[in-house]
Structure 1
Amino acid sequence: MSETEDPVTTVVRLLGKNMRVVREDGAIAKIYVSREWVDRELFKNYDGQITVGLAESRDTKIELSGRLRRRLDTLRVNVWSQNMLLRQKMVEEVNRIVKQNRNRPNVTLYDFAGLGYPSGEPHKAFQCEAANEPAPGDAGWTELTSLEYQKIWYSDEDRLSKSHDVNGEYALLLFRFKIESREQTIKKMVLAFEGYGTAPAGSGVTIKVWNHVAQAWQQAQSGTGETDETLAITLTMLVNDYVDDDGHVWLLARTTNPSDGATPATLYCDYAFCTVTVKGITYLDVVSFRDADLVDVKPFLFHTDLTLKSWSFEDVGGIF
């Protein structure tokens, strides 16, 4: 059954996945983003905390019949740190993230940037060679090395290549994305592969997504380019069938044609990613913010209170 994601969950994920704050020593600050409230014990292991809560939600009709309605939410975002300068950086980062994503706060990007072996969590990538298309759990898949992961971090023409020269066999890559949203809230999912493939019988890449209910690779998309092209699979129906019980979505890419034993089949990958759009708020912006430091405690707790607004639209059939 379809569900609407509550705005607090959406904003927590948006801030948590995009927060990048650098400390004065050049290291990346550890920021914990959660629902309300602040936990002072967290400062033993984190540089700062951001909490999100719902202050108010108003429902208004936007046509006379009341069939179409708008839900306007007011959200509290509180920034906490024991370092004044770090608090300021966190506030600026919240403003940046919200403004850059104000028209698509419900869209989340999943990719491999910064991941590596064996710390390739929550997403992982594998490679193999075969005459068929092995299932995700097949023993033939081998995880990428740390250096190989770096090749697919960004769309930067620094490509990962997988070559295989056994007659009748393909070069294959497998990408596993860990989806944070509840399956029931997913409205649309897009899985994309940027790269190309070469083989004796012709160039091209074929991508497919794993249907864990049918236990089969489905939704094939193919290209014929000899240079980078982006192939995408868009899912809007029965999306739950493609998210397994562990919250994983699996994308397979292979050379469209196999090796002939003399000339290898080679698969090149520059970038792979997944975007997930959930049912829920479709607009988010910063209304105001103010400092509210706690100086009657030791050490001081530097605090900024931000007010955000969001909205979603609803008809008698649900969120659209």
Structure 2
Amino acid sequence: MSEVEDAAVTLLRLLRNEMRVAKDDGSLARVSVTSEWQNSEAFKGCDGQVTVGLAECTDQKVDLSGKTRRRTSFLRVNVWATEQAGANEAGRVIRDKIVEEVNRVVRQNRSKPHETLYDFLKGAASQMHRAYSGSSEVSPYHSSWETLSSEHIQQLWYSDDNRYEVRRSENGAFAALLFRFKLESRESVVKKLFLSFEGYGAAPAGNGVAVKVWNHEAGTWQHMQVGGAAGTDETLTLALTADLPSYIDSDGCVWLLARTLYASDGAAPALLFCDYVSCLVVVNGISYCDVVGYRALDRVDVKPFIYRTEITVKSWFIEKLGV
């Protein structure tokens, strides 16, 4: 039986990656998302805190044989805020905004909480992901790869035709990009990986781009997809559904390579253009969740007041037993 990710872990990751709380001045609030319980130290560097924990889990058979079962988990999502010196907004207002954002994220992702989309916009603040430029298909750990600057990384944030360009003029050199995606899930719970590259390549011998994924156990680039022959943006996707631990290295990273299909001839360069790149991870875990209620649990017997709302989220996971 494959490992199932804990429901609280799945929901915590969803909230951490998708929540965007805007203040009245347009800036983003700093919100800490952790497992239970509230940590007063978190308020020193954040505007608010969200904690996620399991309240109760039940197991029911769906058919008469009992081979198909449904695990129903009730999760506690607590939102915490307090008054802070020099803050432009009251703690109660911040708490209410975070509650609304939790509701939005859960409802919009209610049918896909087990899916996480990684790209360079969402990974910008934590610098979880990396991008490099090069001129050949060497190992992702080779020292010849050159790290892209934060300004160049910003060109990969959106699919908006603001492309990053790699140019290689040496004879026999390809224009290549290497992308590292740092996964938050344990490799044993990952069920599917979808790696997507949007862009195109051009060289003296013709247009085209090839994308591959690194198999760290075999030590080779595999699952090549080719496109971009028209010299315009094209999205190439590598779908991995088997032997996934071979593509997630010991640091929890997945490596994607994109290079021009043809090399430079020394007279004209090889050019690679990238508009957007992403990695979609599907884990073996809850496939549905929704908010079923919430209540206020403010602490006004302490100073400063602690504003707290407890949200109850219901989720389920359908499991089919082999025996």
1:172 to 172, 176, 192: 176
Q: Partners in 1 of 2:80 and 2:64 — Cα distance?
A: 44
Range with bigger deviation, 287-296 or 173-182: 287-296
| Contiguous gaps of at least 5 residues in structure 2 | 83-90
Corresponding residue of 2:64: 64
Paired position in structure 2 for 1:111: 119
**Deviation per CA, 1:60-113, whole angstroms, max 9, x where unpaired?**
111111111111111111100010000011001001100111110000111111
Distance 1:10 1:201 in 2: 47
Deviation at 1:30, TM superposition (A): 1.3
Which of 72, 92, 97 is the aligned partner of 2:100? 92
Which residue of structure 1 lines up, in the alignment, with residue 129 of structure 2?
A: 123
| Alignment TM-score, normalising by the size of structure 1 | 0.95
Whether the 8 Å contact between 2:76 and 2:312 is mirrored in structure 1 is: yes
Contact in 1 for aligned 2:22/2:28 (Cα 8 Å): yes
Map of 1:40 onto structure 2: 40
Structure 2 letter corresponding to 1:102 = R
Specify the alignment match of 2:88 in structure 1: none
Q: Which amino acid aligns with 1:304?
A: T
| 1:184 to partner: Cα distance | 0.2
Distance 2:41 2:198 in 1: 43
- The match for 2:264 is 259
Q: C-alpha distance in 2, partners of 1:124/1:53?
A: 31
Shift of 1:24: 3.4
Residue 163 of structure 2 corresponds to which residue in structure 1?
159
- The match for 1:219 is 223
Q: Check if 1:288 corresponds to 2:293.
A: yes
Once residues 99 and 246 of structure 2 are traced to their aligned partners in structure 1, the CA distance between those partners, rounded to angstroms, is: 39
Alignment: residue pair count: 314
Cα distance, 1:114 vs structure 2: 6.1
Which residue of the partner structure matches residue 274 of structure 1? 279
Alignment partners' CA distance in 2, 1:28 and 1:267: 34
Alignment partner for residue 198 of structure 2, among 188, 194, 197?
194
% identical equivalent positions: 52
SS in 1 for 2:267: coil
1:187, distance to aligned residue in structure 2 (A): 0.3
Q: Secondary structure at the match of 1:296?
A: coil
Q: Runs of at least 4 residues of structure 1 off by over 4 A?
A: none
Structure 2 length-normalised TM: 0.94
CA RMSD of aligned residues (A): 1.5
| SS of the residue 2:135 aligns to | strand
The superposition leaves residues 116-148 of structure 1 with CA deviations (integer Å, 9 ceiling, x where unpaired) of 6xx772100000123xx1111111110111221
Query: Structure 1 residue 308 and structure 2 residue 313: aligned?
Result: yes
Which stretch shifts more, 51-60 or 186-195?
Answer: 51-60
What residue in structure 2 maps to residue 138 of structure 1? 142
